[in-house]
Structure 1
Amino acid sequence: MTTTTPPRRRRRAPSKIERARGKAAALQKPRVILALLLLLALTSVMLLDGYLRAEVGGDQRVRSGASSSDVPDDVLEGGPILSFRGGQAVTQSVPDKTIALTFDDGPNPTWTPEILKVLEKYDVPATFFLVGSMVSRYPDIVDDMVDQGHEIGIHTFTHVDLSYQSDARITREIEQTQLALAGAAGITTTLFRAPYSSEMDAIDNYSWPVYQKLGEEGYTSVFIDTDSDDWKKPGVSKIIKWATPEDGEGASVLMHDAGGDRSQTVKALGTYIEKMRAKGYTFTTISGAMEESSEQQGQQQGQQAAGGASAGQQPAAPAQQSGGQSGGQSGGQSGEQSSGQNSTSALQAAHRTATGTTLYEGKALVAAVWVAERVVPALSAGLVVVGVAVIGRFGMMLVLARRHYRKRNKRRFSWGPPVTRPVTVIVPAYNEKECIANTLESLAKSTHSIEIIVVDDGSSDGTSEIARAAADSLGLTNVRVIRQENAGKPAALNNGVRNASHDIVVMMDGDTVFEPDTVRQLVQPFADPGVGAVAGNAKVGNRNTMIGAWQHIEYVMGFNLDRRMYDLLRCMPTIPGAIGAFRRDAVLQVGGMSEDTLAEDTDITIAMHREGWRVVYQEHARAWTEAPGSLKQLWSQRYRWSYGTMQALWKHRKSLTDKGPSGRFGRVGMPLVVIFQIVTPVCAPLIDVFTAYAMIFVDFKASLLAWLAVLGVQLVCAGYAFKLDKEKYRYLLMLPLQQLAYRQMMYLVLIHSCVTALTGGRLRWQKLKRTGEVGTPAGAS
C-alpha cells in the first residue's frame, strides 16, 4: 500500500467548494417554498374550478313528506313573496293580470343570451335567480342583464339544498354569491330563491329556519305560483300552457335559463309573452310586483280608514307590509304607474351598489375564476399528453427490456475474448469513515485483478487513516490513498484517473460494496473495442426500512427496465456513480469528469456518446449501496440528481444537431430523457391532482377504478423488473403506498429542481450521512 498526501497544515481555510456548498444551502429554503407555493397554486386552481362546477340539475324537491307544523298557516297559504320585518313573516302576492317572470339556475353561456334577446325584443323585464358559481364563470352575461334592466336574485353559490346545511354553510353560500355579483356587475341584491323550492305550501320544518335566518338578515325569499316545468322539456305548447296563470290571476312564473338544454324554453318564450299580453297581462320584476302590491294595500287601507271615519269608528290597524314599504307612503298614489316604471323604481330597492371591500373581493373572485377557467382546460390537455406518454413508456420498456434480456442471456452471446487484464478501481471519498472499510473489504474479495485508488477529498473525519488501517488489516498491497484539498467529486475522480496504472478504470462511491464477481462482470464488455463505458447494476442494501423499500422498487424498475431499454436503443444516458467502468483514454479524450454540472456521471456519459463511443449496460455486475435513510437526505440527493441531469442536458443541447453515429444520442436519447425524466415527471402530478379532482367533484367510483388501473400497469412493470433481476416479490406490497407518498415527494423534488434551474441557482456535491450498515449480502456470488 502506498500513500500520497499533501503537507499538513494547522488550519485550512474553507475551500471554494465548501463556501459554495454553504451558500447553496442558504438558498434552498426559499426555492423549496417557491416549489411548494407552485403546487399549492395548482391545487387551489383545481379546487376552485371543481367548486365552481358543482352540478346544477332539474328544479325538483330532494325530500318529501316533511312536517310543516312549525310554519305559520298564513305563510303556507300566502303569496309567493316572503319577507320579514321586526321578526314577523309577511307574504305578498303578485297583483292580478301581472306576471313576474323569473328564471333559475343561470347564467348559461348558450341559453341565457338567447333568452335575453327575446326579452329585449319584447321589452319585458324579468328576475333572474343566479347561481354564484355560474356568475363567477360568466360575469359578462350578468353585467348585460343588469344593463338591460333585469333584476337579479340569489340562488346560492353551488345550488345546494340549504335545508340540510349548517348556519356557516348557509352564510357562505349567500356571501360568496354576493361577492360574485359584486365582481361581475358591481351590485348586491336582497332577493333570494332557494334551490329545489316551489310553492309556499311546500315550506316545511327543515327549510323554515333557513327563510327565517335570511329574512332577519334583510333578504326577501321568492317562491312561485306557476311552474312551467320547462326543465322536463315537455314541448313548447305545454311549457306555454303550464306557465299560464288561471282566471286572470297574477303569478310568479318559473322558467330556467340553465341546467340543461333550454332550446324549448327559448322557443316558447316569445309566443308566451305575446299570448299573455293578448290576455291583458303586464310583465314586471319581483320588486315591481312587491311595489304594486304595496300600493294596492295602501289604497285599501285608505278606503277602510275613510269608511271608518265617516261611521264614527277608529281607523283599522295597518295591514302587514313587506320590504319596508309603508302603506301610508304608497296609499296616496294613484296606482296608475306603468309596470316599466314600477320595475325601474323597484330595482333601486332590490339592488345595492357594491363598494369597498365587497367590490374588490368580488373582482378578485372573478379574476381567480377567470384564471381557473383557462388553466384547468390547459391542464386537462396536458393530462392527456402525459397519460399517453406514461402508458407509451411502460409499453416500450416492457417490450425492449424483454428483447434485451433474451439477447444478453443467450448461451452463445459473448462480448468477445474474456477481459482478464488488471483494472484500476477509483474510490472518491469525502467523510466516509462509516463505509470506507466495508468498501475495501468487498474489493479485497474481487475475483478480478485490481488496483485500488482511494482519493480522499479533504475529509475531516479520518477517512484516509481508516482506509490505510483497513488495507493493512486486510493485507492489501494494491491500495493507494491519495489525499487532496476539498475540490469536489469530479476533481477526486479526475485525480484518480490521472494516477491510474491501467487502461480500464472502474469508478464506485465510497459507501458502496461490490460482490466478488462484480469487477470481472463489469469489464467484460470492453472486449468490444467500440465500447467506451459500462453501466453496472446498483442495488439498495438497506431495503428493510420503508424508505429503503421504496427506493429498492425504484432502483429495480429504473435499472432493469429503463437501462435495458436505453441500452438496446444505444443511447444510455447515465453511468451510475455507484458502479461504472471506463476506458481511461476515452475519459481523457472527453476532458475527464466535468465540474460544470452536478451530474458528472450523466455529463461524461453524454460526452462519450458524442465522441462516438458506445455505452452499454451490464446487468450481472452488481453493486450494493446505502440509500438515504431519511426523507431530508433523500430530498437532498434526488434534488442534486434531477438538477444535475437538467444541467447536463442543457450543456449538451447541441447534440440534437450532431451528425453520424455520434449523433445517435441527440436524435434518440436526448428526446427520450427530456420527455421521460423531466417533462413527464413534472406533469405527472396532474394525474394525481385530476384523480383527486374527479373523486371529489365528478365520479368517485370511476375515478378510483381508473387510478387502480394505472397502479395495476405499474405493478405489472415492477413485477417484470423484479423477475428479470430475480428479486423477492414481497417488496411490491409497498408499491401502492409508494405511489401515494414517495412519488409525491419525487414530484416536489423535480419541481424544486426546475425552479432552481429557472432562477439560475447553483449547487455543489453534497455529502449524505451514512451508517455503514450495507455490506456484501450473504450468498452473493
Structure 2
Amino acid sequence: MATSGKRARARKRPRGPRRRLPMRYLLPSLILVALLAMLMLRGYVHSEILADHRVRDPAPTGQVPDHILRGGPVIDARGTGPAKSLDIPDRQLVLTFDDGPDPEWTPKVLDKLKQHNAHGVFFITGTMASRYPELVKRMVAEGHEIGLHTFNHPDLSLQTPSRIDWELSQNQLALAGAAGIRSSIFRPPYSSFAGAMDNKTWPVTEYIGSLGYITVLNDTDSEDWKRPGVDAIIERATPKGTKGSLVLMHDSGGDRSQTVAALDRFLPDMKKRGFRFSNLTEALGAPSAHTPVTGVDLWKGKAWVAAVALSGNVTAILVVGLSIIGSLVIARFGLMLVLSFAHARKVRRRDFRWGEPVTEPVTVLVPAYNERECIANTVNSLTASEHPIEVIVIDDGSNDGTADIVEALWLDNVHVVRQPNSGKPAALNNGIAHASHDIVVMMDGDTVFEPSTVRELVQPFGDPRVGAVAGNAKVGNRDTLIGAWQHIEYVMGFNLDRRMYDMLGCMPTIPGAVGAFRRTALERVGGMSEDTLAEDTDITMAMHRDGWRVVYAERARAWTEAPESVQQLWSQRYRWSYGTMQAIWKHRRAFLERGPSGRFGRVGLPLVSLFMVLAPLLAPLIDVFLLYGLVFGPTEKTIGAWLGVLAVQLVCAAYAFRLDKERMTHLISLPLQQILYRQLMYVVLLQSWITALTGGRLRWQKLRRTGVVEAAPGAGSAASSASGSGVEKDRRPVA
C-alpha cells in the first residue's frame, strides 16, 4: 500500500477556536457504540450473571400475624388496614405457571389449556417477557391472567426497597410493551405456602402491598420442577375432596414435558369431578388484575420490547459475523503460513534464479512535495546504491524549497524535474517521460534505500514475464508505541501477505515506498492513473490484467517514516482504504474476463475485497464479544477463545519476524496493537464505505514528516562521492 499522502497543497489552519470533529468521523464510532449497546442489552435480558440466585434460610415467624400463617394463599396487604388472607372457593382450581414465558413449553401449555377450555394465571418474569412478547400477548388474548414474578427472579427478602421497586417496574415495563397492560397480582420468587411466611418475607409482602399489589402464594404444589413423573405431578396437584385450590406449576425453567403431559390428564379428570379452572380474580369474584396502559407508559413499554427484539436480531447477525471473521482469521493465517513457507523455500534455494542477472542501469523516480525534512536523506541513500542508477526527483510544486535542497547537494546522476502541483500520478508519469532506462524504480520522498535495495529489486526482471516488483517496505521510526505497532503491521500484515499473494500470482499492490516497473509494461497500461487515490494498487491491478507477472523481492528493503500520531495514521489509512475500494471497483470487470485478467479477477479481487475491505470491518467483533463475555459470561471460555485467536496471530507474527530477520521484542505490544488497530481500521473502513456510498470525494492529505529516518540501518552515511552509477548525467535542474 502507498506510504504517504503527497499530493494536496498543505493548507494552513486559521488560528482561533478548534473546529468541531465532523459528523462523518463520529458516525463510524457511534455505529460501533450502538452495536455494543445492542449486545449489552441482549446480555442484560438473557444472562444469568446479573441475576441474584441467593436464597435465604428460614427465619423466625414471630412478626407474621397468625391469621396470615393459618390463612389462604392470597394476601391483600393494600391500604392502611390489616392484611387480608383469602382462600380459593370450593370446586375452583386456579392453575398458576411460573417463570415463563418459554418459547418451547409455554405454547404447549397454552395449547393444552385451550384444548380443555381452561384458564390459568401466568406469573411472568421481565426478562422472559421482554424476549418473547408474542407469548404474553397470546396469554391475554386467550383469556388467561398475567401476574408479575419480578424481572430477574431474585429472593426479594435479600434485596433493598429500591431493588424491589426496580424489579417490579421493569417487570411492568415488559408487560406493557408485550400486551399493553399492567397487572396488580404478584408472586415472589422462591415463595411457597402462607404458613412458610417468616420475619424476613413478611415485611416484603407488606411493602409489596403498599405499592398496590396482591401477593399470590400457593396451597398446592405440584413439584413439577423436580420432574417426579406425570402420575406424581397429578397426585400432588389434586386437592382433597371439593376444596378449592391454588396450584403451582411451571411453564419454564427446564424440561416441562411432564407438566404438559400431566395437564392433558389432569384437566379433564378434574372437570369430571366438578371443578372449574378459573383465573384468580374470577375465582375470588374480584375485578380483573389487568389494567390497560396508555400514553407515555405504553410507548415506553413498546420501545423497550422493540429494543430487546432489535438487540436479539443484531446479536444473531453479530454471532454470524463473528463466526465468519473467526473462520477468515484462521483460514487467512493458515494460508499465509503455508504459502509464506513455500515462498521462502523457493527464493532461498541455491538453484533459484529469475533469469540472467540484471546489471544494466535503471532509473529511480522520487516524487516529492514539501519534503524538505526528508529529501536529503532519501537522495543521499541512493548515491550509495550497489546498482548503477540515475535519480530523477520530480518536485510537484513544493513551496518549502525541496527542489533547491536536492540541487544544493550537487550529486552525480541526480537531477530535478520541476512541475506545477499536479498530484503524485502526474509526477510519476512526468518522471517516466524523463527516464533514460527500461526499468523504472519508484520510491517516496520520505524513504531511504539500503545500498543493495535497487540491485535486489530489479533482479526479478531477468524473467521477461515480470512486469513489476514489490519491495520490502519497513518502518524506520519504530521507537514510539505507534511506530512499533506499524512495524508489526508492515512485517506481519503487509510483507507476509505479499509472500502469500506472490505464490498465488495475484499481488494486489506495489508499495509506493519501494517498487519497480518494466517501462514497456507501464506504457502498455497507460502509465500511472489518476482515477483512484491508491495509484499503486491501481497500477498493480492493471499490470495483472495486462498479463504481466507481479512478484515480491523480500531482500529489497526500504525504510520509510510512518505516521507518528493517531490523526496522521487515520488520514493515511483512510486514503489507503478508500483508494483500494476505488481500485477494486475500477477493475471489477476482470471478474468476468478471460485469460490473465480473469484469473486475477476471480482470485485476486475476491481476496483483496475479503481481507482488505470486508474482514477488517468485522474484526472489532472479536473485542466486542470479549467485553460481552467478560460481563455476561462464560468468562473463561470467552477469554480462552480470544487468547486462542491472539495466539494464532502471534505465531504468524513471529514467523514473519523470523523471515524478515527482525527482533522479536516488538511483539510484546502485539495484544494491545491488535485491540486498538482493529477499532481504528473498523472506523476508517466504515468511514470509507460511507464516503463511497454517499458519493463523497477524498483529497490527498499531506502527512507531516520529521526526517527521523536518516539512513538505512547498517548503511552508514551516504557520501556525496559515492559511486556505482554507470551513467553520467548533468546535475542541473530539468525544466
Q: Is the 8 A contact 2:620 2:678 kept in 1?
A: no
- Describe the shift of the 1:182–1:21 C-alpha distance in structure 2 as closer, same or farther (beyond 3 A): farther
Which structure: larger Rg? Answer: 1
- Describe the shift of the 1:266–1:507 C-alpha distance in structure 2 as closer, same or farther (beyond 3 A): same
Q: Which residue of 1 aligns with 2:46?
A: 53
SS at match of 1:727: coil
- Return the alpha-carbon distance in structure 2 between the equivalents of residues 199 and 770 of structure 1: 78
- Describe the shift of the 1:61–1:708 C-alpha distance in structure 2 as closer, same or farther (beyond 3 A): closer
Q: Is the 8 A contact 1:522 1:534 kept in 2?
A: yes
Of 426, 432, 442 in structure 2, the residue corresponding to residue 491 of structure 1 is 426
Unaligned runs of 5+ in 1: 1-14, 293-341
Q: Give yes or no for the alignment of 1:432 onto 2:371.
A: yes
Q: State how 1:140-289 maps to structure 2 within 5 Å.
A: 140-165=134-159, 167-203=161-197, 210-246=204-240, 249-289=243-283
Shift of 1:701: 0.8
Shift of 1:489: 1.6
Of 41, 45, 64 in structure 2, the residue corresponding to residue 72 of structure 1 is 64
- Return the alpha-carbon distance in structure 1 between the equivalents of residues 168 and 464 of structure 2: 77
Q: Which residue of 2 aligns with 1:363?
A: 302
Q: Look up the equivalent residue of 2:514 and give its one-letter code.
A: I
- Between stretches 191-200 and 208-217, larger displacement belongs to 208-217
- Describe the shift of the 1:214–1:636 C-alpha distance in structure 2 as closer, same or farther (beyond 3 A): farther
Q: Look up the equivalent residue of 2:683 and give its one-letter code.
A: L
Q: Compare relative contact order (CA 8 Å, sep 6+) and give the higher one, 1 or 2.
A: 2
Of 98, 109, 113 in structure 1, the residue corresponding to residue 107 of structure 2 is 113
Tell me how many residue pairs correspond in the alignment: 705
SS at match of 2:83: strand
- Return the alpha-carbon distance in structure 1 between the equivalents of residues 469 and 456 of structure 2: 10
- Describe the shift of the 1:177–1:51 C-alpha distance in structure 2 as closer, same or farther (beyond 3 A): same
Q: Give yes or no for the alignment of 1:36 onto 2:29.
A: yes
- Return the alpha-carbon distance in structure 1 between the equivalents of residues 100 and 170 of structure 2: 16
- Between stretches 517-526 and 497-506, larger displacement belongs to 497-506
- Return the alpha-carbon distance in structure 2 between the equivalents of residues 183 and 269 of structure 1: 29
Q: Look up the equivalent residue of 1:533 and give its one-letter code.
A: A
Q: Give yes or no for the alignment of 1:583 onto 2:518.
A: yes
Of 365, 390, 394 in structure 2, the residue corresponding to residue 455 of structure 1 is 394
Q: Which residue of 2 aligns with 1:564?
A: 499
Q: Look up the equivalent residue of 2:692 and give its one-letter code.
A: A
Identical aligned residues as a percent: 58
Q: Look up the equivalent residue of 2:29 and give its one-letter code.
A: L
Shift of 1:414: 1.3
Q: Which residue of 2 aligns with 1:627?
A: 562
Shift of 1:718: 0.8
Q: Which residue of 1 aligns with 2:724?
A: none
Shift of 1:554: 1.0
- Between stretches 617-626 and 729-738, larger displacement belongs to 729-738
Shift of 1:141: 1.9
Deviations along 1:639-690, one digit per CA (max 9) or x if unpaired, are: 1111111110010000112212343211211111112212222222233333
Q: Which residue of 2 aligns with 1:731?
A: 666
Shift of 1:487: 2.0
Shift of 1:210: 4.5
- Between stretches 561-570 and 25-34, larger displacement belongs to 25-34
Q: Which residue of 1 aligns with 2:725?
A: none
SS at match of 1:601: helix
- Return the alpha-carbon distance in structure 2 between the equivalents of residues 612 and 409 of structure 1: 26
- Describe the shift of the 1:213–1:139 C-alpha distance in structure 2 as closer, same or farther (beyond 3 A): same
Q: Is the 8 A contact 1:61 1:197 kept in 2?
A: no
Q: Look up the equivalent residue of 1:243 and give its one-letter code.
A: A
Q: Which residue of 1 aligns with 2:339?
A: 400
Q: Is the 8 A contact 1:153 1:193 kept in 2?
A: yes
SS at match of 1:709: helix
Of 359, 373, 382 in structure 1, the residue corresponding to residue 321 of structure 2 is 382
Q: Which residue of 2 aligns with 1:764?
A: 699
Shift of 1:708: 0.9
- Describe the shift of the 1:692–1:209 C-alpha distance in structure 2 as closer, same or farther (beyond 3 A): farther
Of 519, 529, 533 in structure 1, the residue corresponding to residue 464 of structure 2 is 529
Deviations along 1:381-421, one digit per CA (max 9) or x if unpaired, are: 33323222221111111111000000001122112222122
- Return the alpha-carbon distance in structure 2 between the equivalents of residues 521 and 16 of structure 1: 29
Of 342, 351, 354 in structure 1, the residue corresponding to residue 290 of structure 2 is 351
Q: Look up the equivalent residue of 1:153 and give its one-letter code.
A: G
SS at match of 2:317: helix
- Describe the shift of the 1:83–1:443 C-alpha distance in structure 2 as closer, same or farther (beyond 3 A): farther
- Return the alpha-carbon distance in structure 2 between the equivalents of residues 485 and 515 of structure 1: 31
- Return the alpha-carbon distance in structure 1 between the equivalents of residues 294 and 115 of structure 2: 33
Q: Is the 8 A contact 2:7 2:424 kept in 1?
A: no
Q: Give yes or no for the alignment of 1:135 onto 2:118.
A: no
Q: Look up the equivalent residue of 1:65 and give its one-letter code.
A: D
Q: State how 1:295-334 maps to structure 2 within 5 Å.
A: none
Q: Give yes or no for the alignment of 1:95 onto 2:30.
A: no
Q: Which residue of 2 aligns with 1:410?
A: 349
Q: Look up the equivalent residue of 1:54 and give its one-letter code.
A: S
Shift of 1:531: 0.9
Q: Is the 8 A contact 1:107 1:135 kept in 2?
A: yes
- Describe the shift of the 1:245–1:696 C-alpha distance in structure 2 as closer, same or farther (beyond 3 A): farther
Deviations along 1:702-724, one digit per CA (max 9) or x if unpaired, are: 11111111111111111111111
Q: Which residue of 2 aligns with 1:613?
A: 548
Q: Which residue of 2 aligns with 1:331?
A: none
Q: Which residue of 2 aligns with 1:11?
A: none
SS at match of 2:287: helix
Q: Give yes or no for the alignment of 1:502 onto 2:437.
A: yes
- Return the alpha-carbon distance in structure 1 between the equivalents of residues 162 and 476 of structure 2: 54
SS at match of 1:446: coil
- Between stretches 195-204 and 376-385, larger displacement belongs to 195-204
- Return the alpha-carbon distance in structure 2 between the equivalents of residues 120 and 689 of structure 1: 44
Q: Which residue of 1 aligns with 2:384?
A: 445
TM-score (norm 1): 0.85
TM-score (norm 2): 0.90
Shift of 1:573: 0.3
SS at match of 1:346: coil
Deviations along 1:60-117, one digit per CA (max 9) or x if unpaired, are: 9742425456853445554333343345662423234233211111112222122122
Q: Is the 8 A contact 1:126 1:151 kept in 2?
A: yes
Q: Give yes or no for the alignment of 1:519 onto 2:454.
A: yes
- Return the alpha-carbon distance in structure 2 between the equivalents of residues 168 and 777 of structure 1: 67
Q: Which residue of 2 aligns with 1:653?
A: 588
- Return the alpha-carbon distance in structure 2 between the equivalents of residues 541 and 641 of structure 1: 20
Q: Is the 8 A contact 2:10 2:702 kept in 1?
A: no
- Return the alpha-carbon distance in structure 1 between the equivalents of residues 581 and 211 of structure 2: 59
SS at match of 1:487: coil
Q: Look up the equivalent residue of 2:78 and give its one-letter code.
A: R
Shift of 1:169: 4.2
